[in-house]
Every structure is written in structure tokens, then in C-alpha cells.
Structure 1
Amino acid sequence: MSAYLKLDYIGKSFSRGGKVSEVLRDIRLTIDEGEFVSIIGHSGCGKSTLLNLVAGLTPVSSGAVLLENREVNAPGPDRAVVFQNHSLLPWLSVYDNVALAVTKVFRGRKSKAERHAWIMENLDLVQMAHAADKRPGEISGGMKQRVGIARALAMEPKILLLDEPFGALDALTRAHLQDQMMDIHARLGNTMIMITHDVDEAVLLSDRIVMMTNGPAATIGEVLEVPLPRPRERLALASDRTYLRCREAVLKFLYERHRFVEAAA
């Protein structure tokens, strides 16, 4: 049985002014359908570049990204991205921001009434149906990010790509959205790949954590299984031995990599 998503010896280099910079080298990873995978590593290790390769926003230099055995070489609605910046259009309402994606993907496949129902269903999923008529400037940062998640989910993607989606939020809002993301994942079963710098966030949300080596020419250093049963309760996990063991393993990896950076400086 072939992998749902396969990163097959991926390499990525950028050229500027006659100089070539190798960002990623020999990335090999398979991800199962419905899995939640976090990617963590120090700044400059190519995490966002890797996510952009899976999204088809950036072409690979070598190797291939394969989704259900088909090569990814361009953006598509089967891979939706949620960025740290919500990227909502400020002159459109919450409803219309989601409607843009729904109309693009489902025009000709769903009637106007069906599209309306689908927009409201996805806003309700992230608890934003009550703010459908508001503009982005009238809602909080956490609410904007919820709308961004609703817009991505409304495309019915095979893979949801999350690029530090909660990084700009305060701690309380971040915790609430983490809990909400766990609930969405449980209800929909989407395959999710998330970039994060937050160790606790990675352990709380993930089935596996991919730990990147330092750049340039970064690759996968370790992959950690997180064998915590779902649903997960953050308060109960605070003293859970498996949770603490996973957290310690990620911190140890990152700390060792930080020492290598300091030694090379």
C-alpha cells in the first residue's frame, strides 16, 4: 500500500546573484491519511520552504512530492494553506472571504444555496457564524485566524497546511484555538501538517513530530511518535509521563542543535 503523501528525496536550492544556496537536502517522509504531523526546528532550517513545496507554491529542485501517487508541481485546492498572517481581504466581510474560496472550488458543482449552506457550516465549525457580516477590522486576531481556517477547510482539502497559525496570538487565544483544532481534526479527519516553534503545541496536537536539522542543507534529524490517546486534555497531560517524555525528547534535540549553532559561530 502506497503512502498518502510521500516526500521522495526532496532537495531545494535557491540561486541569487550567481550564488546557489541549498536550503533542503534529501527530505524523505511519508504521511498517512488523517495524520497530524508537526515540523519543528530552529529558524532558517527550511520549515516554511518545505511547507511551500508540499503546497506547490515553490518547485522542488530535486526529488518529488507525491500526493496519492500524483506529483505535486503547482498549487491546488486539495492542499489548503493557513498562514500566520490570516491573509483576509479587509474590504470583504467574514462571509465573503470564505465565499471567495468556496465559489472558486465549487462553482458548477454546488448550487448557490448549497454554497451558502457550506460557507455557514464551515464558519459554524470555527464558531464564527455569528460574525459572518463583520469585516476583518471589526474582529480580533484570534477570530481572524478562525476565519482563515474556515476558508481553508471550506475548500475540502486533502491536506491542511498550517504555517505557525497561532504564532502571533496571545497565550490564552492560542490555547483555545489549539483545542479547537484538535476538535476539528477529530471531527473531519483531515490530514494536517503544521509548522511550529512551540514544543508543547507540537506534542499536544501531533501524531508525529518531524525535527529538522539546522540549515543550510537541512534535512530530517529525527521523527518522534507521540503515542498519546485522543481526545487529549491539556490539563490532564501536564503530568502525563508520555507527554513529558515526548516534550523532553524534542527539547533535547533542539537544545543539541542550538549548541552546534553556537559552536560554529
Structure 2
Amino acid sequence: MSAYLKLDHIDKVFSRGAASTEVLKDITLTIDRGEFVSIIGHSGCGKSTLLNIVAGLTTATMGGVLLEDHEVNSPGPDRAVVFQNHSLLPWLTVYQNVRLGVDKVFAKTKSRAERDAWTLHNLSLVQMVHAKDKRPSEISGGMKQRVGIARALAMEPKVLLLDEPFGALDALTRAHLQDSVMALHHKLGNTILMITHDVDEAVLLSDRIVMMTNGPSATIGEVLEVPLPHPRKRLELATNAAYLKCRQRVLEFLYERHRFIEAA
């Protein structure tokens, strides 16, 4: 059986004039349908560049991305992105921000009433129906990210791409949103690829953690399986041996890479 999502021998080189920098080297990874995979590594290792290649926002220099055996090299509704910055349109309400994507994707397949119901359904998934008539300036940072997640889910993407979606939030809001994403993944069975700097976040949410070597010419150094059943409860994992073992392995990997940085 072929992989649901395949990153196939991806290289990425950025050029400016006569100078060129190889950011990614020979990235190969397969992701199953419904799997939650995190990519972690030090700053500058090309994590966001790799996510942008999967999203179709950047083209690979060599290799490519296959989704259900079809090559993807441009943006499309089958891959929805949630960025660290919520990217909501400030002049639209919460409802209108989500409805905009729904109309774009489903204009020919859903009636106006169906699109309205679908918009409200996705807002309810992230517990934001109560704020549907508010504008982004009237809601908190965590609520804005909930709307961004609702907008992404409303497109019914085959793959949900998360680029450090909780990075700008305070610790408590971050924890609540992590729990929400965990619950949504368990309920909907989405295929998720997430970029993160946070070790605990990666272990808590992921089925596998992809650990990147340092750039330039970053590649996959190690892929760690997280053998914890879903749904996961944050407080129970604090003393779970498998959780602590995974956390320790990721920290060891990142610490070794940090030593290489200091020695350079």
C-alpha cells in the first residue's frame, strides 16, 4: 500500500545572485492517513521551509510531495495551513473569516444554507460560536487561533499543516489549545503535520516526532515513535514512563545538536 502523504527525496536550495544556500537535503518521509507527525529541530534547520513545500507555498529544488499518489506543487484546499500568526482578516467577523474559506471551497457543492450550517459547525468544534459576530480585535490571541483552526478545518483538508500554531500564546492558553487540538484529532481523525520548538508539545500530541539535523543542508536525523494511546491526558502523562522516555530522547537529540552549534 502506498503512503497517504509522501515527502520524496526533497532538496531545497535558495539562491541570491551567485550565492546559494542548501537548506534541506534529501528529506524522505511517509505519513499515514490520520497520523499526527511533529517536526522539531533548532532554528534555521528548515522546518518551516519543509512545511511550506508541503503546502505548495514553496517549490522543492529536487524531489517532491505526493498526496494520495498525486504530486502537489501549488497551494490547494486539500492542504490547509494554520500559522503562528492567526492571519485573520481584521475587517471581517469571526463567522465571515471562516465563511470566506467555506464559500471558496464549497460554492458549487453546497447550498447557501448548507454553507452557513457548515461554518457554524466548524466554529462549534473550536467552541467559538458565541463570538461569531465579533471582529479579531475584539477577541483574545487564543480565540483568534481557534478561529484559524476552524477556518482550516472548514475546508475539509486531507492534511492539516500547523506551523508553530501555539508559539505566540501564554502557557495556560497554549495548554488549553493543545488539549483542543488533541480532542479534535481524536474526534475527526485528521492527518496532521506540525512544526514545533516545544518538546513537551511534540510528545503530548504526536504519533511520531521527526527530529531534524542542524542547517544548512538539514536532513532527518531520527524519527521517534510515541507509543502512547489516544486520547491522552496531560496530567496522567507527567509520570508515565513511556512519555518520559520519549521526552528524554528528544531532549538528548536536541542537546547534541546544540553542542554542534556551539562548536561551530
- Letter aligned with residue 250 of structure 1: V
TM value normalised by structure 2: 1.00
TM value normalised by structure 1: 0.99
CA offsets 1:68-98 (integer angstroms, 9 cap, x no match)? 1101110000000000000000000000000
The 1-side partners of 2:63 and 2:94 are apart by: 39
The aligned residue for residue 30 of structure 2 is 30
- Letter aligned with residue 64 of structure 1: G
The aligned residue for residue 114 of structure 2 is 114
Counterpart mapping for 1:37-48 below 5 A = 37-48=37-48
The aligned residue for residue 193 of structure 1 is 193
Report SS of the residue matched to 1:232: coil
The aligned residue for residue 57 of structure 1 is 57
The aligned residue for residue 136 of structure 2 is 136
The 2-side partners of 1:68 and 1:231 are apart by: 27
Report SS of the residue matched to 1:90: coil
Counterpart mapping for 1:115-194 below 5 A = 115-194=115-194
- Letter aligned with residue 236 of structure 1: E
The aligned residue for residue 249 of structure 1 is 249
Report SS of the residue matched to 2:232: coil
Report SS of the residue matched to 2:80: strand
The 1-side partners of 2:64 and 2:91 are apart by: 38
The 1-side partners of 2:232 and 2:103 are apart by: 35
Counterpart mapping for 1:67-86 below 5 A = 67-86=67-86
What is the aligned-residue RMSD (CA, Å)?
0.4
Percent identical pairs in the alignment equals: 78
Structure 1 residue 64: deviation in Å? Answer: 1.3
The aligned residue for residue 16 of structure 2 is 16
The 1-side partners of 2:101 and 2:120 are apart by: 13
User: Where does structure 1 differ by over 6 angstroms across 4 or more consecutive aligned residues?
Assistant: none
Structure 1 residue 17: deviation in Å? Answer: 2.2
The 2-side partners of 1:190 and 1:235 are apart by: 24
The 2-side partners of 1:236 and 1:256 are apart by: 29
Where do 5+ consecutive residues of structure 2 fail to align?
A: none
CA offsets 1:20-49 (integer angstroms, 9 cap, x no match)? 110000001000000000000000000000
Where do 5+ consecutive residues of structure 1 fail to align?
A: none
The 1-side partners of 2:230 and 2:99 are apart by: 32
Structure 1 residue 65: deviation in Å? Answer: 0.6
CA offsets 1:178-216 (integer angstroms, 9 cap, x no match)? 000000001110000000000000000000000000000
